[in-house]
Amino acid sequence: MEKIFKTELAGRPLVVETGKLAQFTNGSCLIRYGETAIISTVTASKTPREGVDFFPLSVDYEEKMYAVGKIPGGYIKREGRPSEKAILTSRVIDRPIRPLFPKDLRNDVVVSNLVCSVDQDCSPEIAAMIGTSIAIAISDIPWNGPIGGVVLGLIGDDVIINPTEEQRKESRMYVTLAGTAKKICMVEAGANEVPDETMLEAIAIGHETIKEIVTFINSIVAEIGKEKFTYESADVPEEVFTLVKDFAWDKMRQAVLAVDKSVRDANIDALTKEIETYLTEQNEEYLPYLADAVYKLEKKVVRNYLFKEHVRVDGRALDEIRPLTCGVGLLPRVHGSGLFQRGQTQVMTTCTLAPLSYSQTIDGLDTEDSKRYMHYYNMPGYSVGEAKASRSPGRREIGHGALAERSLVPVLPSEEEFPYAIRTVSEILMSNGSTSQGSVCASTLALMDAGVPIKRPVAGISTGLIVNEEDENDFLVFMDIQGIEDFFGDMDFKVAGTTEGITSIQVDIKVDGLSLDIIRKAFELTHKGRLQIINDLLLPCIPAPRAELSKYAPRIITMQIPVDKIREVIGSGGKVINKIIADTGAQIDINDDGRLDIATPDEEAAAKAVAIIKGIVADPEVGTEYEGVVTRLMQFGAFVEFLPGKEGLVHISKMSWGRVDTVEDAVKEGDVVKVKLLEVDSQGRYNLSMRDCMEKPEGFVEEEAAPRRGDRPNRERRGGHGGDRGDRFERRPRRDSGKNDDEGGTPHPGSRSREF
């Protein structure tokens, strides 16, 4: 049965239609936010997936180019693999909904959001998040929702809920926030050094709007929601876990206490074999639960150490960062490199500089069409000691790369200040907790090593959480989590920023949400941690960006030319600019506003290219002497290129103070000669003189020269200047006798003679 539900969100209509589309799903809706339209669906398998020890949830955000009236670029006009933006949006939707499903559910659940229409003022990402929440909430799939979501902007001191496209351009931050009626479930933020207190206040304001969205969704569920289905629990039977706990509790406590991850893993592997032997003796039917039982025991031991005894497996205090080391300039041929290590997390980042024409082109649903800063993150199997072949980057790698990129964008120089495209690549060499924040630190080092004049260093750190299962108001927050604390803790709260404020946030949680008190404590610890990393590690390693670029990096010289001179620099069919590139080896990018970026590692080549271009766009001044090259000879004179792309005529009478019988007596093609610009005629042609650059002979008196071929009295000279041929055809009658006009005769019909 078709139903329509309406409300308002940030002053714009939010309309939900159910019961009409995609009726074979467990739950679906068409959600309209302004003129943005999303079809959100959720489908669950009827039986659990065998052989998995996790909840198999898949979230897709499908961008369709027709949503913004575009046809996909490239040869194949069909949407292909998801864009980076689509993958990141899928992750943003996944993170708040995943913890609200039962932990022992093993049925496949697939969430799909089909983007059908996009209004740039009404975020399709938020519409998809709300649509997902509605689809799951009204379905028969067990779930502890619903959630709501908003985007937060900051203009001046005002927090803006779901800013419009114009407001986003002015905003100092872009924060995607999700939560239930009671708690915050997800924070994903990019910010321009926003203070911690301002960010916390914005989150609190955003949560009030989320509560209104949740109330709206609950009203829909109350009217059309389905009864939740029952499922087969995949949890370890209580009798099996009790056996394992009684046998191995103390042994597990000893096994996990190790600073070195490999030692700890070896201890647990050995203990697992002991537990396997013990369960075999008790009842072989318990063996299928071995892995889950060991995991559950290890989790309880680690949480007990942390929460009850405030003991960490590597012996650190709750607010202590693991040992830190770093370095720069590791790789001689790259433009910049940095190595950052925190405990057993080790990241190497390289930085590459290139002309702005190497900026990434984006073919997506929003108005962003390119970006000059690109960050990529690679995490091979060897980083965690696994024998796993390399594959193309997955969603996690793409997400971590985007997080580091977002962290560093606010401190990058403008294009005018530093006209380069910048690419950083983080290679994870060892992974034992918070590699994404390690890549932020390593990337800061690489950028500074490359000579990129960033405003301030950026550092990132993460905090963990343990919540008392019996009292959710009783919690413990601790800094710099390593892998085992991430696996068994309740959150990974990552914050990157400078000494002045936050540049990015990403929060992964495993509980049903975070209170503002938890978030406040996380901000306190991450603020302390990033200042420690910046002041005690990064700045002592490299106090400021290098003053000089690597000798292997391109030098980019920016120059501005009049827009009406662009055609002259390019030349017919690109002839002029291609010649400049061939002669100098420089890469030259010309923008429509007349800005030229000249790039080459060779400073002399760059200077030569600049000189050539300046010559092309310069307006020659009468009376000025130039050094030029003879390009071609005519009977009446020679053409000389005295400025790049500019030719003028030196008449034979202007080649010397003495008489020159033939042009060849004075010059040859390719000769370098000094010339003086005598005049620019009404047609823009240049008349040059060689003799006026020579010393005039003493007592020289210029006499009227005897007529030469090509010199006729009382005739206006029509020399070709600036590239014209310089000869003129005149039609004269010929007589039948073949005699010339002076000898008489009748004209020969159709005949013509050439006179110069």
Residue 72 above 90 pLDDT?
Answer: no
Q: Are residues 471 and 348 in the same domain?
A: yes
Residue 5 above 60 pLDDT?
Answer: yes
> What is residue 753's predicted lDDT score, i.e. its pLDDT?
35
Q: Are 129 and 40 in contact (CB under 8 A)?
A: no
Q: Are residues 19 and 67 in the same domain?
A: yes
Q: Are residues 181 and 253 in the same domain?
A: no
Distance between CA atoms of 396 and 436, rounded to whole angstroms? Answer: 10
Q: Are residues 566 and 650 in the same domain?
A: no
And the tokens for 220?
A: 């829909």
CA separation, residue 373 to residues 28, 542, 589, 696, 718 (Å): 38, 22, 18, 61, 56
Residue 110 DSSP one-character state: E
Nearest to 95 by CA among 151, 159, 218, 178: 178
pLDDT confidence tier of residue 704, bands split at 50, 70 and 90: low
Q: Are 187 and 507 in contact (CB under 8 A)?
A: yes
Contacts with 221 (C-beta within 8 Å, 6 or more apart), sequence order = 137, 138, 146
> What is residue 592's predicted lDDT score, i.e. its pLDDT?
87
> What is residue 619's predicted lDDT score, i.e. its pLDDT?
82
Residue 711 above 80 pLDDT?
Answer: no
CATH (domain of 473): 3.30.230.70
Q: Are residues 610 and 678 in the same domain?
A: no
Domain boundary residue, one of 617, 646, 667:
617
Domain count, the chain: 5
Q: Compute the half-sphere exposure of residue 540: CA atoms within 13 Å on the CB side of its CA.
A: 9
Question: Worst-scoring range by mean pLDDT, 109-118, 291-300, 469-478?
Answer: 469-478
Decide if 181 is inside a domain: yes
- pLDDT tens track for 514-566: 999 999 999 999 999 999 999 999 999 999 999 999 999 998 888 899 998 89
Domain boundary residue, one of 283, 309, 335:
309
CATH (domain of 599): 3.30.1370.10
pLDDT confidence tier of residue 738, bands split at 50, 70 and 90: very low
Instruction: Please give the full DSSP string across 679-729, using - where no structure is assigned.
Output: EE-TTSPEEEESGGGSPPPTT----PPPP-TT--TT-------TT------
373 - beta bridge partners?
422
Q: Are residues 451 and 579 in the same domain?
A: no
Q: Are 328 and 446 in contact (CB under 8 A)?
A: yes
- pLDDT tens track for 138-159: 999 999 999 999 999 999 999 9
Instruction: Please give the full DSSP string across 312-327, using - where no structure is assigned.
Output: -TT---TTPPPPEEEE
Distance between CA atoms of 636 and 649, rounded to whole angstroms? Answer: 9
Decide if 484 is inside a domain: yes
What burial class does residue 629 get, using C-beta atoms within 10 Å of its C-beta: 0-12 exposed, 13-18 middle, 19+ buried? middle
> What is residue 296's predicted lDDT score, i.e. its pLDDT?
94
**b/e per residue 126-135 (b: at least 16 CB within 10 A):** bbbbbbbbbb
Range 476-481 average pLDDT:
96
- pLDDT tens track for 339-381: 999 999 999 999 999 999 899 988 778 878 889 999 999 999 9
Question: Worst-scoring range by mean pLDDT, 172-186, 474-488, 585-599?
Answer: 585-599
Max CA distance (Å), the chain: 135
pLDDT confidence tier of residue 713, bands split at 50, 70 and 90: very low
Decide if 734 is inside a domain: no
Contacts with 513 (C-beta within 8 Å, 6 or more apart), sequence order = 99, 179, 180, 182, 183, 184, 185
Q: Are residues 609 and 703 in the same domain?
A: no
pTM of the model: 0.83
And the tokens for 712?
A: 């006729």
Q: Are residues 187 and 114 in the same domain?
A: yes
The share of the chain scoring above pLDDT 70, in percent, equals 93
Range 217-241 average pLDDT:
96
Domain that holds residue 565: 555-617
Q: Are 549 and 603 in contact (CB under 8 A)?
A: no
pLDDT confidence tier of residue 703, bands split at 50, 70 and 90: low
Range 499-523 average pLDDT:
96
Instruction: Please give the full DSSP string across 446-507, using - where no structure is assigned.
Output: HHHHTT---SS--EEEEEEEEE-SS-TT-EEEEES--HHHHHHSSEEEEEEE-SS-EEEEEE
Q: Are residues 367 and 509 in the same domain?
A: yes
Decide if 237 is inside a domain: no
Q: Are residues 493 and 362 in the same domain?
A: yes
And the tokens for 502?
A: 């936050």
The 10 Å Cβ neighbour count of residue 611 is: 12
Decide if 747 is inside a domain: no
Which residue did the predictor score with more confidence, 127 or 579? 127
Decide if 234 is inside a domain: no
CATH (domain of 643): 2.40.50.140
Decide if 730 is inside a domain: no
Decide if 363 is inside a domain: yes
> What is residue 752's predicted lDDT score, i.e. its pLDDT?
36
Range 746-754 average pLDDT:
38
> What is residue 702's predicted lDDT score, i.e. its pLDDT?
66
Q: Are 378 and 392 in contact (CB under 8 A)?
A: no
Q: Are residues 91 and 208 in the same domain?
A: yes
3-state SS, residue 62 = strand
What burial class does residue 198 get, using C-beta atoms within 10 Å of its C-beta: 0-12 exposed, 13-18 middle, 19+ buried? middle
pLDDT confidence tier of residue 199, bands split at 50, 70 and 90: very high
Question: Worst-scoring range by mean pLDDT, 488-497, 628-637, 700-709, 743-752?
Answer: 743-752
CA separation, residue 586 to residues 566, 697, 725 (Å): 18, 45, 32
Distance between CA atoms of 677 and 647, rounded to whole angstroms? Answer: 11
> What is residue 690's predicted lDDT score, i.e. its pLDDT?
94
Q: Are 96 and 179 in contact (CB under 8 A)?
A: yes
Q: Are residues 636 and 590 in the same domain?
A: no
Q: Where are the beta strands (DSSP E) in 49-87?
A: 57-63
Contacts with 164 (C-beta within 8 Å, 6 or more apart), sequence order = 120, 121
Residue 114 above 90 pLDDT?
Answer: yes
Question: Worst-scoring range by mean pLDDT, 202-216, 311-325, 684-698?
Answer: 684-698
Range 297-310 average pLDDT:
93
